[in-house]
Amino acid sequence: MISARSLFASFISTELRQLKFAIDQAALVSITNLRGEIVYVNDKYLEVSKYSKKEILGKNHRIFNSGYHSKEFFKNLWDTVTAGRVWKGEICDRTKGGSFFWVDTTIIPFFKHGRPYRFMSIRSDITDRKIAEAQVEEQRIKQFHEGRLAAVGEIAVNIAHEIKNPLQAICLEAQLLRRMGNGEGFTRQAVLRAAENIDLVGKRMEKIIDSLQLFSRDGQRDPVERVDLNSIVEETVRFCAPQLQEKKIDLQVERTQEPSWVRCRQVQVCQVLLNLINNARDAVENLDVRWIKIQIHTQNGFHFISVTDSGSGISIEIRNKIMLPFFSTKELGKGTGLGLSISQRLMEENSGELLLDEQNVNTRFLMKLPIL
């Protein structure tokens, strides 16, 4: 007669075999001793790594080292498991043929007499996922640079328009000086007045060039600084106001009497604000009523810059899409600027948010930054 203990042992043995079979189908499994030497490896590991069991047993995991991770990375891993703790992370390994493969890894210490003596590694092959993530990141970077080029293109249009008038003024003053040099209406006061006008126009052009440098360069490596949002609004409005006036768009600006201090990279926040204003301009330029309102206000520990236009808001159908990469409501060939997805990322890099106000009857976006 078979005892209850024997039946239980048989049941446990069967369950463990089935559990091992299930794990072997799904995961790369290896076991190492205290010296880090591999004492067990399953068939799935052999299949992915392209090594034979004979080539792996007795070796340590350095046989798979791709060179991707630092020595500190593996020291932290080894210190964690030898201290008796579970380690989890993603590792880039190399196959026998030299190609890379990524594994989502969990390493569990086994104990004897209260001390770790073996370590089981259970790994899932995530190579396809990592490739897909790399492709998405590559597309994001490409979109970012294309967006920057488009934004710089729009900036170039503004600059050409802005510089044209001052250059004409300088040419007129030069003609006046030339006539006076020929004896036509020469007076000391006229020469001084012409020189003063040229100086004023030159300073205006200097500001225009400063704006070009501000809005066209990459502020990624700029330090985070203490900035007044009023200065961000003033700088941006000064740059884009002439084009709005030309399109007969009424620009309304409401600043705060006291400084609204935040910590941010000024260039990036200015670029986001410029992008919102340009989007608003494109949205209203063909409407009968054309206005854009920029406001600074404070609420619940945050400063906000709001950009509202005379448009009738964003339709429900696309509200959840407008912040997605590659999504645009603009017609084909129309400049896309930085795009809302990149603007959102820039705000997040400055500890802020870019939000759509869905309650407003007009189109209204909010730039949200913590109060300093």
What is the pLDDT, as a whole number, of residue 333?
47
Q: What's the confidence (pLDDT) of residue 332?
A: 46
Q: What is the DSSP string of 82-110?
A: HTT--EEEEEEEE-TTS-EEEEEEEEEEE
Three-class secondary structure of residue 272 per DSSP: helix
Give the Cα separation of 202 and 98 in Å (integer).
61
Number of neighbouring beta carbons within 10 Å of residue 277 = 26
In the prediction, which pLDDT does 150 show? 61
Tell me the residue type at 94: R
Question: CB neighbours (10 Å) of residue 168?
Answer: 11
Provide the pLDDT for residue 145: 62
Per-residue pLDDT of the chain (372 residues; tens, 9 = 90+): 455 556 445 555 667 777 777 777 878 999 999 999 999 999 999 999 999 999 999 999 999 999 889 999 999 999 999 999 999 999 999 999 989 999 999 999 999 989 999 999 999 999 999 888 888 777 776 666 666 656 556 656 666 666 666 777 777 777 777 777 777 666 777 777 777 777 777 766 666 666 666 655 666 778 899 999 999 999 888 878 878 888 999 999 999 989 999 999 988 898 889 889 988 998 999 999 999 999 999 999 999 999 999 998 888 878 777 776 656 666 544 544 457 888 888 899 899 999 999 889 999 999 999 998
Quick one: three-class SS letters along 282-350? HHHCCCCCCEEEEEEEEECCEEEEEEEECCCCCCHHHCCCCCCCCCCCCCCCCCCCCCHHHHHHHHHHC
Asked if residue 103 lies in contact with residue 89, where contact means CB atoms within 8 angstroms, the answer is no
Name the nearest CA neighbour of 28 among 38, 42, 17, 40: 42
DSSP annotation of 325 reads T
Would you tell me the crossing angle of helices 127-181 and 188-216 to the nearest 10 degrees?
Answer: 180
Contact 155, 271 (CB under 8 A): no
Predicted pLDDT at 12:
55
User: CB-hemisphere CA count at 13 Å for 116?
Assistant: 21
Sheet holding 115-125, edge to edge: 38-41, 28-33, 115-125, 100-112, 87-94
Which domains, ranges and CATH numbers included, belong to the chain?
11-125 (3.30.450.20), 134-370 (3.30.565.10)
pLDDT value of position 339 = 72
Q: Please tell me the predicted confidence (pLDDT) of residue 345.
A: 85
